[in-house]
Amino acid sequence: MKKLTTLTAVLCIMLFAAAATAAPKEFAIANDSTDDTVTGLMTQKLKEVLEAKSKGAFKVATFPNSQLGSDREITQSCQNGELAFVVQNTAPQVNFVPKAAVFDLPNLFPNKKVARAALDKFQKNIEPEYAKAGIVMLGFGDQGFRVLSSNKAINKIEDFKGLKLRTMENKYHVQYWQSLGANPTPLPFSELYLALQQGTVTGQENPYEVIVATKLYEVQKYVIDTNHLFHTITIIMSKNIYDQLTPEEQKLVRDAAREVITWGREQADKRHADRVAILKKNNVQIIKLDEKLLGEMQAKSKPVYDNISKAVGADLVKKLQDAVKEASK
């Protein structure tokens, strides 16, 4: 309720200011991440690029780190036209765009280069699904692959059994870890550190960026390179607000998003080695999984793959798989 009141107040201030001066147009961008992540950096960069490209015709405010709510809450605010932009992973969007679950297919991308090329090619196929939900999909940045952190080593498939694991609010993420024998629990990101500290959960999965930015190395002993999902960072916009823009302004928004996505990918690549070094400096053991275990994980998670395929449609899955194959050539 407090966050909703804050959001309402922000909107009222912006509307009053716009009415009083008739310009510039004012927008808000929100995320559920800390500033020192690629998500946080992209959020700030989007503000800067929108204001620069519009030559001051757009004025943009940023609200990082759950200031306007959890990932799910800010997605809903975007859908409802209460919030212009959100920068976030696709996982919480599945609650509003069911076919976005196609991005939750485990072990889909062999590497970052292929993932990026495939997502760029595939974007036109998923945009109509976002539009149905009142959201404009502007593109996919990323911060690499999601990995597992835990207070116990994972070296064989049996080690997953009973692991109390925090996941995002996404049923397919839950199903994936259940298929491996873990005990996943969805929790808002803002509650994660305390939950690990108190032992409510004993593991979690996120990109290296997030593990370092939130100092999870203080409460986790191991990072396991599962690389089970590619962590996209989407830029989405309220369709209600987008449709009120002129064609020239819409093009400006799309061009700005593309510029920020390209820049964000560069930042993700530059920062990865430093994130790994910080973990090692803090005595976190990084475990590389052998091909045997990775194969067992893929086999056990096949029912999740099948469930997602049924939910989003085999045709959409094939289009994404074809994009991956083409990008792999």
- Tell me how far apart the alpha carbons of residues 48 and 46 are, in angstroms, rounded to a whole number: 5
Give all strands (DSSP E) within the chain, no chain letters. Answer: 25-30, 58-63, 85-88, 135-150, 164-167, 183-186, 203-206, 222-238, 285-287
Q: For residue 263, which phi and psi values (nearest 5 degrees)? A: -65, -40
Q: Determine which helix (DSSP H) or strand (DSSP E) holds 199, and give its type and residue range.
A: none
pLDDT tens-digit readout, 128-180:
999 999 999 999 999 999 999 999 999 999 999 999 999 998 999 999 999 99
Please state which CATH class domain 2-320 belongs to: alpha beta
Per-residue confidence (pLDDT) for residue 153, from 0 to 100:
97
| Residue-averaged pLDDT of the chain | 94
Q: Which amino acid is at 168?
A: M
Q: Does 6 have pLDDT greater than 80? A: no
Q: Are 304 and 174 in contact (CB under 8 A)?
A: no
Per-residue confidence (pLDDT) for residue 20, from 0 to 100:
47
Per-residue confidence (pLDDT) for residue 141, from 0 to 100:
98
Q: Which residue has the tokens 């997502």?
A: 119
Q: Is 9 exposed, middle or buried (0-12, 13-18, 19+ CB in 10 A)?
A: exposed
pLDDT tens-digit readout, 10-55:
555 555 555 445 589 999 999 999 999 999 999 999 999 999 999 9
Buried b (16+ CB within 10 A) or exposed e, 51-61: bebbeeebbbe
Percent of the chain with pLDDT over 90: 92
Q: Where are the domains of the chain?
A: 2-320
> Is the bond leading into 186 cis (omega within 30 degrees of zero)?
no
- Tell me how far apart the alpha carbons of residues 102 and 307 are, in angstroms, rounded to a whole number: 10
Report the candidate in 73, 77, 137 with the shortest Cα–Cα distance to residue 103: 137
pLDDT-derived band at 112, boundaries 50, 70, 90:
very high
Alpha helices (runs of H) in 80-227, residue ranges in sequence order: 112-132, 171-179, 192-198, 208-213
Of 128-132, 188-192, 270-274, which gets the smallest average pLDDT? 188-192
Report the candidate in 152, 166, 169, 148 with the shortest Cα–Cα distance to residue 223: 148
pLDDT tens-digit readout, 74-109:
999 999 999 999 999 999 999 999 999 999 999 999
